[in-house]
A = this chain, B = another copy of it.
């Protein structure tokens, strides 16, 4: 910058002002200096500016990346969140620093202006760990009192499925999933409450893995125990698909004998045989919202948790 100043015949500070479009410098000078900087291929030193301004224009996104550990970062859908976040932050001149929980001790994270936590659903302790960094922070998941949380309305998700089953005349619904996970616990709650209004109490089959095998396994154990059931609410599409396959093998038809609803509405759900009914969340919007709230917090504006509506996509199952 000193070089540039010498070439242009002005002082460093004028360059600095010109490049940041400050109205303090004369319009003509400003444009001349900007053109010159561009021409000479001048690149601002970000580290220097970060040091002086005491901010980094960076938001750290901390994800759970351990494979096969309830919902992992490698699931495609949570990743659309990342897309939404990235887009929104980029638009506002911020960068995304991607880390795992393990890597979050790395130096660069501490330099971030804000924090977004994804997929930490079942680990409130992990979330709390980041409190002490004292950074503006927004969390994806089920709302709680401790943090600013953005998430889908999982309770509504459970409710709409319950109402769907009621409408179909189902009387013995089953819930398959892991209620330790706060988001799924909410789905279960919504499901149970809405059914209770009709005097129905669903059966809970606890399954921690979100896999086809796990869904199939759940159906087998149900049949083995001889429990009567005519509807399955699986808290992921893969579980639902696994369940349907298993039911067919076991000689029960879907949706004839049993109705099945999944969660997330993954692209394949529509072309599954039979096409899978599923609850859709707006991940993209969620990401945008997460980003917007961190930015607001960074700008010292007050913010609050927010819940996004979900939509039941009724197909054949």
In the complex, are the beta carbons of B110 and A100 less than 8 A apart? no
Stretch at the interface among A90-98, A220-228, A250-258, A299-307: A90-98
Q: Quick one: copies of this chain in the complex?
A: 2
Is there a chain B Cβ closer than 8 Å to A260's Cβ?
Answer: no
- Min CB gap A65→B, angstroms: 5
By a CB distance below 8 angstroms, the chain B residues around A75 are: 76
In the complex, are the beta carbons of A90 and B95 less than 8 A apart? no
A73 nearest in chain B by CB position: B83
In the complex, are the beta carbons of A46 and B107 less than 8 A apart? yes
Is there a chain B Cβ closer than 8 Å to A50's Cβ?
Answer: yes
Stretch at the interface among A8-16, A24-32, A51-59: A51-59
In the complex, are the beta carbons of A76 and B73 less than 8 A apart? no
In the complex, are the beta carbons of A109 and B95 less than 8 A apart? yes
In the complex, are the beta carbons of B268 and A245 less than 8 A apart? no
Interface residues of A in 101-118 (CB under 8 A from B): 102-103, 106-111
Q: Give bound CA distance, A238 to B51, whole Å.
A: 48
Choose from B98, B211, B267 the contact partner of A98 (Cβ within 8 Å).
Answer: B98
In the complex, are the beta carbons of A83 and B74 less than 8 A apart? yes
Is there a chain B Cβ closer than 8 Å to A48's Cβ?
Answer: yes
Q: Give bound CA distance, A67 to B49, whole Å.
A: 34
Known interface pairs A79-B79, A86-B98. Does A212 touch B46 (Cβ–Cβ under 8 Å)?
no
Q: Give bound CA distance, A224 to B125, whole Å.
A: 60
By a CB distance below 8 angstroms, the chain B residues around A262 are: none
Q: Give bound CA distance, A46 to B107, whole Å.
A: 6
In the complex, are the beta carbons of A268 and B87 less than 8 A apart? no
**Given known contacts A73-B79, A242-B271, what 19 new A-B pairs fall within 8 Å (CB)?**
A44-B107, A47-B56, A50-B51, A65-B87, A67-B83, A82-B98, A86-B103, A90-B99, A93-B106, A93-B107, A94-B106, A95-B98, A95-B109, A212-B267, A212-B268, A213-B271, A241-B268, A268-B268, A273-B273
24 contacts between A and B (CB under 8 A): A43-B110, A44-B110, A45-B51, A46-B111, A47-B50, A47-B111, A50-B50, A58-B97, A61-B98, A65-B86, A73-B79, A74-B79, A74-B80, A79-B79, A82-B98, A90-B99, A90-B100, A95-B99, A95-B107, A95-B108, A96-B99, A212-B268, A213-B271, A268-B268
Closest 5 pairs (CB-CB, A-B): A90-B103, A47-B50, A95-B108, A46-B111, A76-B76
A interface residues (Cβ-Cβ under 8 A, vs B): 43-51, 54, 56-58, 61, 65, 67, 73-76, 79-80, 82-83, 86-87, 90, 93-100, 102-103, 106-111, 211-213, 238, 241-242, 245, 267-268, 271, 273
